[in-house]
Amino acid sequence: MGLTASSPIVLEGENLTMRFGGLVAMAEVAFTLKRGEILGIIGPNGAGKSTLLNIITGIYIPSSGEVRLEGERLNGVPAHKIVARGIARTFQSSRLFGDLSVLDNVIIGRHTHTKAGVFDAIFRRGRAKAELDAAAAHAETLLKSVSRGLHEQRHRPAGELAQADRRRLEIARALATDPKVLLLDEPSSGMDDADTDALMDDIRAVCAQRPDLALMIIEHDMRLVASLPHRVMVLDYGQKLADGPYEEIRRIPRVQEAYLGRKAAQHAGA
C-alpha cells in the first residue's frame, strides 16, 4: 500500500500535555501518523521528544489529552499491552541482552506472539518446542530482511556487535512484534556518515517490505531527517513549532531560532 494522500490515520495524539509537579514537559501537542508514513521528530535537547514517545508507549500517562491507535484510546493501557496492540519502539540507549546471541534477542522480541508458559514447558514440551522453533524461523527471516550482514552474525553475542549493527538488531527485535507503528529513538546515534547512510537504506528496505508500517523517528542527524521522513514535526520547550515537509519547515524563522539561536537565525535568513 505505502503512503498515499488517502492513507488512513493509524496513530494520533490530541492536545497532549505532560506535567511533572510544576514543570510542564509538554503542552497541548497534537499529531497524526498515517499508514505507510515516516514522521521525523526533531528539536533541541529537552524539547519533549522522548516524553512524547514515553506517552505513546504507556510509560507516561498524559496529564491531559489522549493517544489513539486506530481510533482506540491508549491512555492508561499498560506498556506491554500497547506492544501487543501494535506499537513497538527502540531506545536511545541500548536495551539488548548482550550475553545472548543476535538470534536469541530477536526470538525474545517475538514473545507477544507465543502462548506457551511454564506449564507447557514442563508438561507439554512438544507444544513449547514447536512455538520456539516457529519463533526461531521467524527471527531468521526477519534478520535477513533487515540486514544480510546482521543475519550472518546471528550466532554472535549481541554485546560484541558494532554500534551500527546493534541499532539494526534493536530494529529487528522491535519488528519481531509485528507492529503497526514503529518508534525509533535516535537510531543513528554514535554512527558516522557511512553507517548512517547504510542504516537509511536498511530502513527504506524494511518499509518497502512492509508498506503499511508507520514510523516515527526522533533524530538529530539532519542528513537523515532531510532525506528519510515524509514529514517532520518540530518540538521546542514541549510545544509544537512546525509540522510539514523538511524543505518547508527548515526555512521557518522560529525553527531556525530553536536550533541556531536568534542572531544566527537572523543571519541565516538574511
Domain range list for the chain: 1-86+179-270, 98-177
Instruction: CATH number for 1-86+179-270: choose from 3.40.250.10, 3.40.50.300, 3.40.50.1220, 3.40.50.360.
Output: 3.40.50.300
Residue 115, pLDDT above cutoff 60: no
List, in sequence order, the alpha helices (H) in 210-245: 222-227
Tell me which of 5 and 187 has the higher pLDDT.
187
118: which strand partners? none
The pTM score is 0.86
CA 247/CA 242 separation, integer angstroms: 12
Residue 63, pLDDT above cutoff 70: yes
Q: What is the pLDDT of residues 206-251, one digit of tens each?
A: 999 999 999 999 998 989 999 999 999 999 999 999 999 999 998 8
Lowest mean pLDDT among 21-25, 101-105, 115-119: 115-119
pLDDT band at 46 (very low <50, low <70, confident <90, very high): confident
Of the candidates 44, 7, 97, which has an alpha carbon nearest to the alpha carbon of residue 241? 44
Which pLDDT score, from 0 to 100, does residue 152 have?
Answer: 95
Q: Which conformational region is residue 236 in: left (phi greater than 0), alpha (psi within -120 to 50 degrees), or beta?
A: beta
Mean pLDDT of 148-176: 94
Which pLDDT score, from 0 to 100, does residue 102 have?
Answer: 95
**Beta strands in 144-257, from DSSP E residues, in sequence order:** 181-185, 214-218, 231-236, 239-244
Binning the chain into helix, strand and coil, the percentages to the nearest 5 are: 45, 25, 30
Which pLDDT score, from 0 to 100, does residue 265 have?
Answer: 45
